[in-house]
Amino acid sequence: MHKNRYRGIYPYDDARVLMRGGETDYINASYIDNAKCEQYWPHHNQRILYGDIEVVCKVDKLYADFIWRHFTLSKNSEERILHHLQFTSWPAKDVPDNVTALIELRQRVNDLPSSFNGPVIVHCSAGVGRTGIYIALDILTNEGEAEGAIDIPGCVFNMRQNRPNMIQTLKLQLNQEQKSDKELQAMERNRLLTIKNRKLADIPGDLYRPRLYLFLKPGESDYINAIYINSFKTKNRFLVAQTPLPDTVSDFITLAVQENCSCIVSMEAYLEKHEGIGLYFPCDNQTMKKGMVSVRSSTAQRAVLLLPRVCSPFIELN
């Protein structure tokens, strides 16, 4: 008893640490099995022998949401190349921040060169939840591209027939249900800023939203309807925003200056002809002033189809 601090907190015999060389082998300490998985690959430029197969890690590249590794497997005189993509943006017992990262991972996997006709190994801690989502995404995307429609219940049924618990939830859940209470409160708070949101627009919370701070006056809101999105390689590579309203043009231009943007991609054709849209650039070779920023537009070339113009903005801070 004198070796235990608290009554009732004692290690199990089959997992306790055994002391050697003392009067007793007892100490209040336990071995804990490693959760998830053992690392089954060598570090960059290292060689490890697994049985009679030598594995060398030739490439180890970090992307925004995954790590891509390139292994060489050798046995006797035979050598093979194996690609390894480790998704890093999906925490256990939680959901990813956005679906874009998972789509990009799938695209990257499908673009990898293949020397053999064998299957792709997909695994997570138990080989069911996250693994099932990735496989379902791949199956349904292929089905949609081939058939023009997808059968989600049929896909779930078939996967459960192949492996128990492949999809662990009984019903679909709205994405909003996965958000924290703090983020839901921020969404409701931002929804009340009606002059800054387009009607029926999606309302961001605060977690992935840029905060306006440049030229911000005391008491003014830092809100703008925009969010950061990761690219294939870089976090926060894109800013996705609603087309400015007449009253939010100054915010939109401020965001571009504040975030050091060098390009704005507009998916609105013929901005000048739409009602309720705030133009954030002047006519060709003219200057427009919004708040502390002046914008001068010069047309570099005329584009066709949906892109009405390609502009080179010159922004001057007064």
N- to C-terminal Cα separation, the chain: 76
146 within a domain of the structure (yes/no)? yes
Indicate if 191 and 312 belong to the same structural domain: yes
95 and 212 fall within a common domain: no
pLDDT for residue 126 is more than 70: yes
Instruction: Give me the number of domains the chain comprises.
Output: 3
**Rounded Cα gap, residues 223 and 244, in angstroms:** 13
Cβ-based neighbours of 269, under 8 Å, separated by 6 or more: 306, 307, 308
Choosing from 162, 195, 212, the residue where a domain stops is 162
The pLDDT of residue 254 is 92
Q: Is 81 found in the same domain as 29?
A: no
The answer to whether residues 209 and 87 belong to one domain is: no
- Full-model pTM: 0.55
Alpha-carbon gap, residue 133 to 140, rounded angstroms = 10
Closest CA to 237 of 102, 54, 107, 100: 100
Asked whether residue 41 is assigned to any structural domain, the reply reads: no
The string of pLDDT tens digits covering residues 241-255 is 998 998 999 999 999
Same domain assignment for residues 149 and 208: no
90 lies in some domain: yes
The dihedral over CA atoms of 151, 152, 154, 160, expressed in degrees to the nearest 10, equals 160
Strand order in the sheet with 66-75: 47-50, 53-62, 66-75, 78-87
- At 210, the pLDDT band (50, 70, 90 cuts) reads very high
129 lies in the same domain as 199: no
In a domain, 117, yes or no: yes
Whether residues 254 and 279 share a domain: the answer is yes
Round the average pLDDT of the chain to a whole number and report it.
83
Q: Name the residue with higher pLDDT: 92 or 194.
A: 194
Give the separation between CA 163 and CA 247, rounded to whole angstroms.
55
Residue 218 lies in a domain: yes
Domain that holds residue 258: 179-317
CATH of the domain at 124: 3.90.190.10
Instruction: Note the pLDDT of residue 75.
Output: 93
Q: Is the pLDDT of residue 310 over 60?
A: no
- Tens of pLDDT, residue by residue over 97-124, are 778 889 999 999 999 888 788 788 888 8
